[in-house]
Structure 1
Amino acid sequence: MKLREREVVEVFRVLTLRQLRQWVQRGWIVPSQSETGPLFDEVDLARIRLVCELRRDMNVNDDAVPIILELLDQLYGLRRDLRAVVTALLDQPDDVRQKLTQSLSAKSGKHGVSPR
């Protein structure tokens, strides 16, 4: 489901159309574009909800919002990359997985590290 600007403002009653447009202009929210204007998907709505909470509930100022969003984007990107590595590891033969597990254990100083 994709929403238009006015529909987003209706969903988030604390958000004005002007604010939404500013957030898009600043790159905090990156909706897809259609012939009739921006369309906001579920990921955009979650990000809008986060920005609303940061600003309203946590009193985060406009200078800090993009920093927080960038850090979260990096975190989610790393999690996605790690999932891909684990998936690729699980596709390897047992001896390769065991060697890698041993190597990871030695480097981290932990014992019993094993991919699922």
Structure 2
Amino acid sequence: MIPIEAVLARLSGLDAPMLESWIAREWVRPARQAGHLVFDEIDVARCRLILELRDELEVNDAAIPVVLQLLDQLHLTRRQLRRVAEALVEIR
């Protein structure tokens, strides 16, 4: 688990108010441990993605949740397809 300070140190261009805003909008969903926010590597990667969407691809804040939702759906579909493929291998 990664504390918020380490996330901010890892990601250039990300500050505490911005990250708190993303958490409030549920773009990033860290866990709580002993009353403190803690992040997984996947949360850090998601923050990096949001920064890239905003800064490099110039996606505005209104479109970011749409992009994130589509990516989440894509990853879910890939996991489901992987499970189906594994089940088919077991049947043979």
- TM-score, length-scaled by structure 1: 0.77
Deviations 1:63-105 (A, max 9, x none): 0000000000000000000000000000113xxxxxxxxxxxx
Structure 2 counterpart of 1:53: 52
**How far, CA to CA, are the matches of 1:13 and 1:50 in structure 2?**
12
Structure 2 equivalent of residue 90 of structure 1: 89
For residues 85 and 12 of structure 2, what CA distance do their matches in structure 1 show?
A: 41
Larger relative contact order, structure 1 or 2 (CA cutoff 8 Å, min sep 6): 2
For residue 25 of structure 1, what is the aligned residue in structure 2?
Answer: 24
How far apart are the structure 2 equivalents of 1:84 and 1:3? 30
Mark the structure with the bigger radius of gyration. 1
The yes-or-no answer on 1:10 pairing with 2:12 is: no
Q: What TM-score, normalized to structure 2? A: 0.96
RMSD (Å), alpha carbons:
0.8
Listed one character per residue, the Cα deviations across residues 42-66 of structure 1 (whole Å, up to 9, x for unaligned) are: 1001100000000000111110000
What secondary structure, in the 3-state scheme, does the structure 2 residue paired with 1:60 have? coil
Q: Tell me which stretches of 4 or more aligned residues in structure 1 moved more than 2 Å.
A: none
Which sections of structure 2, spanning at least 5 residues, go unmatched?
A: none
Which residue identity lines up with residue 44 of structure 1 in the other structure? D
Which deviates further from its counterpart, 27-36 or 83-92?
27-36
More strand by share: 2
Residue in 2 that maps onto 1:114: none
- Partners of 2:36 and 2:62 in 1: CA distance: 27
Match of 1:39 in 2: 38
